A and B are shown apart, each in its own frame.
Chain A
């Protein structure tokens, strides 16, 4: 029989990526009820996000809006050639938004907005087929946006805000090494993101019926410096990985161009529409730079080649009585994800979204806003061609939202 002696070995290099940026689209409970239209709408202080130009044209001298959401995301993966299905674990996220603005002179308003613009939370089943590409991805970002808005005339407002963004990102994937007990080896990257951006807009209301808006948001480049790297492998191969490495990387958020209108068709009935164009194509590669490398552990540059997208939104509002208004809306949102670079931490497809909401006004100042939202992605056949990982994906997100508005 054969006999064996000592042979030195080397090890697999893990490759990793960070999450793609996803728009959360939960920045205003009232707008959420109307298909996330908002560029051409006056719905209170949340205009700080949707169109800073509108803020100075809001009725009243002080506005506050706060919103809280509970969002449940589920994705399913199906491989038709092996008849294998995988799902994401149930994850609930709680995006929020807080807005306040005040008129400081006849022509000028100032405001502060805090909201979660981008995020993703995908936790695939343990042991799923794609675990060597991604096991978990988490990205949560919060923007702080001090804003100033000028009322150039009774019909025209402009405004702009500076965005400072902070957040957390985390990514886990399995490393293809196992010991006799089959315990899992993996790499986990985690870090804090920071970035800056800009939000500016123009709002025009020529008469009592029509409102038009244009806004532009400069994409935040979510940078991670000095992120933590945890590598869990069997002890005998630890020496193939650096002992204390950190990483840096970035996730480029897109520039967003919004055009919108609304029309007060009657005293009770309002409709709105929005078109958004987003320059996701700046997200070409996911680069991870480790401070320490070894022959088996190198920096990462994964192609993703996202595409620019357009979204179309419509919404309507019906005022039933003095104090109760109902809303409904729908939207079609193109997916930026490239089907031949479909990385499963970005499980996404063209989305159809359905919205409903209502507001109850307690008095002239206080009101409570509720909304719910269903986001369905079309079934997508994706292939991460650099790794040969194919499958069919579909996602569903259900959101329930609660908010408070105050005007004085």
Chain B
């Protein structure tokens, strides 16, 4: 027979069981399986400086703005280095998301034919406060400045010609490298030279006011070497990145050379209009863009040539832009111009390698990373990234600069290089915490 006592004891067991359950002790991963502890290895990362052009500056969606800067390659790398002893990485943050008002975004709109589609439009105009001078709040660790070319890094009073630097330069007379030396860096990231060739390419190879030519090899080498010498002069170590080929950038590769769709009637009409032009014969269906780049006759674009992503597609669809009206030279990067750009990038990257070896600075091969992502895509944490416009996830709406998540992918590759070359163990960032293109 059951006694009161044993009943009591039974319930004690039940209570004990319930307690075990509710405390449901969570499992732990034993830390010793993660190997040696995190450290900066053979580097001192106490004071970090980032120097260069667009790629380290947080430029994305055609603008430098607050959240983009917070997710810049430099900031992400520095954030991870903080876990192994780096100090605070101060950035000349914009006040808001407008930057200097050239940001773009996606919007759902009707095109000229009344078809709804996703379109890139201006983000909007801020209240101007981002132009306020925040120089006195410095010094800043991120001295990567949008639009800065290699020669600009050592140009005194550079703020006079670049509003992105003017807003945070320590003095009106200072150069970017002057301000970098205020940090007395122990570790640097240098990614410069992109604007020395991209400016030319983005203007379709046109040179003029606001359309720079490609920097000469001598100029590039001298200024890059001067910059590296200054950075390493007090024993700092660092990394230097090279320049991605434009064939990896959707700014050039998105619009097909033969995007002119014609009916039989339209083809006949065009053949009539261009009857005197021996270069052009239109057919029903797909036809190449018509280009006027200084020859006696307008010509068809060739499959290897790039049409800029910024072309007005409404004009193409409804106003005969690129067919009835030939495209002006700056809309197209012709074969010759592409060859010039490729040659420049090849030479610049050669110089970057050479100087990297000479000064013992490991080179982050951004060119290969971008090319791999472009060619085969790269798989991270369940998502495949490629360089397709918008959907690829890697490059932002301007077709040139990475998305915030693209920056995180690049930052991790730089950290891997640091780990490899400096016997460090710096944790990688969680790239999925950074957004890709914002979809309306």
Flag B93-119 by CB within 8 Å of A: 1 or 0 each: 000000000101110110100000111
**Of all chain A residues, which has the CB nearest B108?**
A236
- CB pair B27–A376 under 8 Å, yes or no, is yes
The residue that B27 contacts in the complex, of A6, A75, A82, A179, with Cβ under 8 A, is A75
Give Cα A349–Cα B366 distance, bound, in whole angstroms.
Answer: 38
- CB pair A129–B430 under 8 Å, yes or no, is yes
- CB pair A400–B20 under 8 Å, yes or no, is yes
**Of all chain B residues, which has the CB nearest A376?**
B27
The residue that B34 contacts in the complex, of A11, A80, A386, with Cβ under 8 A, is A80
B440 at the interface (CB under 8 A from A): yes
- CB pair A358–B13 under 8 Å, yes or no, is yes
The interface residues of chain A lying within 8 Å CB-to-CB of B33 are 80, 379, 381, 392
Instruction: Flag the segment in B223-231, B232-240, B277-285, B379-387 that touches A.
Output: B379-387
The interface residues of chain A lying within 8 Å CB-to-CB of B398 are 2, 4
The residue that A5 contacts in the complex, of B6, B13, B105, B312, with Cβ under 8 A, is B312
Give Cα A4–Cα B118 distance, bound, in whole angstroms.
Answer: 12
- A267–chain B nearest beta-carbon distance, Å: 21
- B22–chain A nearest beta-carbon distance, Å: 8
The residue that A402 contacts in the complex, of B14, B117, B121, B122, with Cβ under 8 A, is B14
A234 at the interface (CB under 8 A from B): yes
The residue that B111 contacts in the complex, of A3, A6, A87, A177, with Cβ under 8 A, is A6
**Of all chain B residues, which has the CB nearest A296?**
B391
- CB pair A7–B438 under 8 Å, yes or no, is no
**Interface residues in A, total, Cβ within 8 A:** 69
The interface residues of chain B lying within 8 Å CB-to-CB of A387 are 379, 381-383
- CB pair B439–A236 under 8 Å, yes or no, is yes
Taking residues whose C-beta sits less than 8 angstroms from the other chain, chain B's interface range is 35 or more
- CB pair A87–B26 under 8 Å, yes or no, is yes
- The verdict on A370 contacting B311 (CB below 8 Å), with A87-B26, A178-B438 known, is no
- CB pair B28–A394 under 8 Å, yes or no, is yes
- The verdict on A388 contacting B440 (CB below 8 Å), with A76-B29, A360-B10 known, is no
Max chain A Cβ within 10 angstroms of own Cβ: one of B10, B29, B120: B29
Max chain B Cβ within 10 angstroms of own Cβ: one of A5, A180, A392: A5
The residue that B26 contacts in the complex, of A76, A178, A324, with Cβ under 8 A, is A76
Give Cα A341–Cα B27 distance, bound, in whole angstroms.
Answer: 22
The interface residues of chain B lying within 8 Å CB-to-CB of A360 are 2, 6, 10
Max chain A Cβ within 10 angstroms of own Cβ: one of B120, B310, B381: B381
B273 at the interface (CB under 8 A from A): no
- A167–chain B nearest beta-carbon distance, Å: 24
The interface residues of chain B lying within 8 Å CB-to-CB of A5 are 119-120, 310-314
A74 at the interface (CB under 8 A from B): yes
Max chain B Cβ within 10 angstroms of own Cβ: one of A129, A131, A368, A384: A129
A176 at the interface (CB under 8 A from B): yes
Q: What would 29 A/B residue contacts be, using CB atoms closer than 8 Å?
A: A1-B62, A2-B202, A3-B310, A7-B119, A12-B383, A12-B393, A70-B21, A76-B26, A76-B28, A79-B430, A80-B35, A90-B24, A129-B430, A130-B381, A176-B436, A178-B436, A178-B438, A179-B440, A180-B440, A234-B440, A236-B439, A236-B440, A360-B2, A370-B10, A370-B14, A379-B29, A379-B33, A396-B27, A398-B21
